[in-house]
C-alpha cells in the first residue's frame, strides 16, 4: 500500500518517503488545509497529497519525485514515482466508488443512436480492457477479465484512485478532441466531460444534501534577502503529475517575480501532466512543462487558462541521473537542458517521443500570453475565446487554434505602387485638363464695344 499520514487540521511539514513497489501509494491527507508541504518521494509507485481545503505552497513548498534508489535504476532509469495533488475535495473526498461503478460496468454503455443527455446513468465508454491491462502491469494480476473488477474493488481506495484518475482524464481529453471534430456526434459539445466531472464531484449527495467544494492550489515564487525562493511540483526521473482542484483556482506563478529554473510544474523524465481545475489555471511568470516526453491535458471548468508572461530564454537543467551497475559502479546519465516558461510538451532530442497538448476552457479564455504554448506533437484547444494565437507553436497537427494569416507584403507593395501610379496619372490628367480649360477660356473671351443704337434724332414737333 505505501505510507499514510493523516491530519485533521492545517499542517506544515517536511518529509522523505520511500516506496518499494510500483503498486505503492503513499498518502498525505488533511481534512482542512495543507500548508508549505515539502516532500521528497523516492522509489516507484505514487505519492498522493490530498486536502479538503487549500493546498497552499506559497514560495516555500516543493513536492519532488527523486527517482529510484539503488540497482533497480539500471533496468528502469525512468521509473520514479508519480505525484497526485488533490485540493478542495471536501471532507469526504472525490466520489471514487460512484465513479468506478459508472465507468467500469459494461452495462452502463449508452446507446450511440440516442442523445447522451437523455440517457442518465449511461456513459460513452467503459474501461474493462484498460483495467485488466493496468492490473496486470501494476499487480501482476493473472485472473480473467471477468474477475478483474472484483479484484480491483478489493484494493484500498487510494490504489483504486490511481487508475480512476486515468479514466477521468481520458474522458476529459476525449471531450476536448471531439469538441473540434466535425465527424463526432459530440462536435461542439462538452457533455461527455461534464458528465465525468459530475460523477467524480457530485453536487448533491445520496440523501439530497448539497455538496460543496472549496479550496485552491497556490504556488509561486517570491523575493527574499537571500534571493528568489520557489515552489514546484516536479518529477526528476519518470513519473507523471496529476493535479485536481475541485473547488477553486490553480495558481502556478505570479507576475512581478522572475522564478528560478525549476519553479512550476515539471516532468523532467518521461511522464504526463494532467490538470483539472474548477476555476482558472494561471501561470504568471512560471511554467507547466513536460521536458523529456509526455502529454499535457489541462481543463478549467469555469475559468481561464493563461500561459503567463514568463521568460522564454530561461534554461532548465535536468539533474544528473545516477545509475548503479551490477558491479556497484556509478554512472551518470547525460542531461539535456530545456528552456522557457508557459505551457509546453518539449522533446529536446530526437529520441524523445513527441508530446500532445489538449487545453479546454468551456466557459473561459485560453491565452497563450507572452510565454507561449508549445507542443512537440499535436495540439488541441477548445474555449470560448483563444487569444495571442500567434504565440502558439505546434510541430504536429493543430486543431481549434485560430488561423493566423501573414500579410502578403508583395501584394501590399504592388497595390501601393499601383495606387501611387494611378494617383500620378490622375494628377497629370487633372493638370492637362486644367491647362486645356484655361486655354479654351482664353480663346473664348470676346470684347464688344457699343458705338450706337442706330436711327436719327427724335422729332420734337411730332
pLDDT tier for residue 458 given thresholds of 50, 70 and 90: very low
Task: Compute the distance between CA of residue 31 and CA of residue 14 in angstroms, rounded to an integer.
Answer: 18
Is pLDDT at 331 greater than 80 in this prediction? no
Q: Mean pLDDT throughout 365-382?
A: 97
pLDDT at 447: 53
Residue 462: the pLDDT is: 42
CA distance 164 to 93: 14
Check residue 226 and give its pLDDT.
86
Neighbours of 404 (CB within 10 A): 9
Quick one: cell of 330? 556509478
Task: Give the integer Cα–Cα distance in Å for 378 and 283.
Answer: 21
More confident call, 96 vs 73: 96
Q: How far is CA 136 from CA 23, 76, 365, 435, in A?
A: 11, 18, 41, 97
- pLDDT average, residue stretch 107-120: 96
> Mean pLDDT throughout 336-354?
87
| Distance between first and last Cα of the chain | 149
Q: What does the alpha-carbon distance between residue 268 and residue 314 come to, in Å, rounded to a whole number?
A: 15
Please provide the average confidence, as pLDDT, over all residues in the chain. 86
- If pLDDT is split at 50, 70 and 90, which confidence band does 181 have? very high
Among 3-12, 124-133, 347-356, the range with the most confident prediction by mean pLDDT is 124-133
pLDDT tens-digit readout, 395-439: 999 999 986 544 555 555 555 555 555 556 556 655 666 555 555
Distance CA 230, CA 287 (A): 12
Using alpha carbons only, how large is the chain's radius of gyration in Å?
34
Report the run of H or E that residue 175 belongs to, with start and end.
helix 157-179
Whole-structure pTM value: 0.84
- Tell the burial category of 93 from Cβ atoms under 10 Å away from its Cβ (0-12, 13-18, 19+): middle
Of 254, 251, 298, 253, the closest CA to residue 274 belongs to 298
* Residue 440 in this model has a pLDDT that exceeds 70: no
- CA dist list (Å): 62 to 14, 55, 57, 215: 9, 12, 8, 19
Instruction: Assess whether pLDDT exceeds 90 at residue 301.
Output: yes
Note the pLDDT tens digit of each residue in 390-407: 999 999 999 999 865 445
- Give the C-alpha separation, 87 to 248, whole Å: 8
Residue 69: predicted pLDDT? 79
- Assess whether pLDDT exceeds 50 at residue 130: yes
CB-based contacts of 437-441 (< 8 A; 24+ apart in sequence): none
Q: What is the pLDDT of residues 143-170, one digit of tens each?
A: 998 899 999 999 999 999 999 999 999 9
Share of the chain above pLDDT 70, in %: 78
C-alpha cell at 121: 446513468
Structure confidence at residue 7 (pLDDT): 53
Contact 265, 62 (CB under 8 A): no
The secondary structure of 87-150 as a DSSP string is ES--SS---HHHHHHHHS-GGGBPPTTS-GGGSTT-BS---HHHHHHHHHHHH---S-HHHHHH
The residue with greater pLDDT, 441 or 452, is 452
Mean pLDDT of 175-193: 97
Quickly state the pLDDT bin for 39 (edges 50, 70, 90). Answer: very high
- Residue 181 φ then ψ, to 5°: -105, 110
> If you ran DSSP here, which 8-state letter would residue 257 be given?
S
Residue 350 has pLDDT above 70, yes or no: yes
Residue 213: CB atoms within 10 Å: 18
Amino acid at each position: 500500500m505505501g505510507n499514510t499520514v493523516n491530519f485533521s487540521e492545517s499542517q506544515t511539514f517536511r518529509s522523505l518517503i520511500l516506496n518499494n513497489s510500483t503498486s505503492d501509494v503513499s498518502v498525505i491527507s488533511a481534512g482542512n488545509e495543507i500548508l508549505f508541504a515539502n516532500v521528497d518521494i523516492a522509489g516507484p509507485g505514487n505519492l498522493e497529497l490530498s486536502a479538503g481545503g487549500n493546498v497552499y505552497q506559497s514560495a516555500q513548498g516543493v513536492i519532488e519525485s527523486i527517482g529510484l534508489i539503488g540497482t533497480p535504476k539500471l533496468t528502469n532509469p525512468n521509473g520514479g514515482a508519480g505525484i497526485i495533488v488533490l485540493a478542495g475535495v471536501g471532507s469526504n473526498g472525490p466520489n471514487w466508488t460512484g465513479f468506478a461503478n459508472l465507468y467500469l460496468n459494461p452495462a452502463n454503455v449508452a446507446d450511440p443512436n440516442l442523445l447522451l443527455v437523455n440517457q442518465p446513468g449511461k456513459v460513452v465508454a467503459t474501461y474493462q480492457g484498460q483495467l485488466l491491462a493496468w492490473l496486470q502491469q501494476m499487480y501482476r494480476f493473472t485472473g480473467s477479465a471477468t474477475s478483474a473488477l472484483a479484484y480491483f474493488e478489493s484494493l484500498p481506495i487510494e490504489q483504486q484512485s490511481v487508475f480512476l484518475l486515468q479514466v477521468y482524464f481520458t474522458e476529459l481529453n476525449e471531450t476536448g478532441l471531439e469538441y473540434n471534430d466535425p465527424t463526432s456526434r459530440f462536435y461542439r459539445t462538452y457533455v461527455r466531460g461534464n458528465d465525468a466531472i459530475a460523477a467524480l464531484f457530485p453536487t448533491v449527495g445520496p440523501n439530497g444534501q448539497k455538496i460543496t467544494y472549496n479550496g485552491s492550489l497556490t504556488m509561486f515564487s517570491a523575493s527574499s534577502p537571500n534571493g528568489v525562493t520557489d515552489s514546484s511540483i516536479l518529477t526528476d526521473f519518470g513519473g507523471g503529475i496529476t493535479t485536481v482542484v475541485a473547488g477553486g483556482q490553480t495558481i502556478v506563478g505570479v507576475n512581478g517575480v522572475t522564478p528560478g529554473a525549476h519553479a512550476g510544474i515539471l516532468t523532467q523524465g518521461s511522464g504526463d501532466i494532467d490538470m483539472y481545475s474548477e476555476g482558472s489555471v494561471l501561470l504568471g511568470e512560471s511554467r507547466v512543462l513536460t521536458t523529456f516526453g509526455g502529454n499535457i491535458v489541462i481543463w478549467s471548468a469555469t475559468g481561464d487558462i493563461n500561459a503567463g508572461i514568463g521568460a522564454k530564454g530561461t534554461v532548465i537543467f535536468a539533474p544528473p541521473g545516477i545509475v548503479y551497475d551490477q558491479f556497484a559502479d556509478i554512472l551518470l546519465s547525460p542531461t539535456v537542458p530545456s528552456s522557457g516558461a508557459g505551457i509546453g510538451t518539449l522533446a529536446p532530442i530526437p529520441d524523445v517521443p513527441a508530446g500532445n497538448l489538449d487545453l479546454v476552457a468551456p466557459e473561459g479564455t485560453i491565452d497563450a500570453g507572452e510565454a507561449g504554448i508549445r507542443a512537440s506533437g499535436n495540439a488541441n484547444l477548445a474555449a470560448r475565446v483563444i487569444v495571442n494565437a500567434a504565440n502558439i507553436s505546434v510541430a504536429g497537427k493543430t486543431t481549434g487554434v485560430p488561423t493566423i494569416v501573414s500579410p502578403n507584403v508583395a501584394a501590399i507593395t504592388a497595390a501601393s505602387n499601383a495606387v501611387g501610379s494611378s494617383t500620378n496619372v490622375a494628377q497629370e490628367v487633372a493638370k492637362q485638363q486644367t491647362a486645356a480649360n484655361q486655354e479654351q477660356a482664353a480663346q473664348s473671351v470676346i470684347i464688344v464695344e457699343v458705338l450706337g443704337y442706330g436711327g436719327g434724332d427724335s422729332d420734337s414737333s411730332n
